[in-house]
Amino acid sequence: MNEKILEEGNWAKCKEESNYHFDPFSHTSQADRMRYVGRFEGDWSEELARAVENAKAITWRSRDPKDNPRGGVGIDRTEADIVNAGGKADTEITSLEDDVHLYPSFQAMTDALHLVDGKDRPLQTRVHVQVPGQTWTAHVDRLQKWSVDEPLSNIFRFMIFLHDYEFGHFVQYGNEILTKYRAGEIYTWDHVNVPHCTANAGVTPRSTMVITGIGTPETHAMFSQSNLVIKI
């Protein structure tokens, strides 16, 4: 068994800084539901197959080595949550493919959301490929690092499902488990407050694309369109 490394983990810190209810038996449509934006239409199956092949496994500590090579207190606390529950600090959480410019369809999706670089971080697009057994433990995003001067309401993170839902593929947002999604669906969420996690307990890779950046008027305009469909 792993030795406990910190008395207080990141989960307790998330609760302190969030306005989410953290009641596992409560469910409100506003707090416990990801926001559906629209969907992409097209055929990116060949590109997805290549991205799955190229994705490299990461842990919490190695997920962003260019930005934070030593991890820092936040990563220490996150690892503490895992270790204190009997898990391993170096548990694989997902696999990433960062070179999205190599995949024309994925680059087109990124461009269609009209996000721009932040003052402190550039626009980020990553293909997430969770293979069976990989688990991204529960957390609340901290996206202010994209631009310390930007209102949090104008920092966006979108998730695009790259294939239809399959058994054993988990996305939990608040108290809701998102299932039955279709390839190309676009979602965003309250990244400031609501905890979420993902896992693959199935028998096939679970693949999404996550895009983070600063919103523009064109980004905000998408939310006023009903039944938004973007052809790729």
Backbone angles phi, psi at 190, to 5 degrees: -80, 90
pLDDT band at 30 (very low <50, low <70, confident <90, very high): confident
Give the domains, in start order, of the chain with CATH numbers. 37-57+92-231 (2.60.120.10)
Which whole number is the average pLDDT over 6-34?
Answer: 87
Task: Check whether 68 has a pLDDT greater than 80.
Answer: no
Task: Check whether 112 has a pLDDT greater than 50.
Answer: yes
CA distance 179 to 160: 14
pLDDT tens digits, 119-177: 999 999 999 999 999 999 999 999 999 999 999 999 999 999 999 999 999 999 999 99
Residues 161, 208 contacting (CB under 8 angstroms): yes
Which whole number is the average pLDDT over 9-27?
Answer: 91
Task: Check whether 106 has a pLDDT greater than 60.
Answer: yes
Q: What percent of the chain has pLDDT over 70?
A: 93
Q: What is the pLDDT of residue 31?
A: 86
Check: pTM over 0.75? Answer yes or no. yes
pLDDT tens digits, 168-204: 999 999 999 999 999 999 999 999 999 999 999 999 9
Q: What is the pLDDT of residue 70?
A: 47
- What are the DSSP calls for 109-174, one per residue? HHHHTT-B--SSS--EEEEEEEPTT-EEEEE----GGG-TTS-GGGEEEEEEE-S---TTEEEEET
pLDDT band at 1 (very low <50, low <70, confident <90, very high): very low
Mean pLDDT, the chain, rounded, equals: 92
Total count of residues recorded for the chain: 232
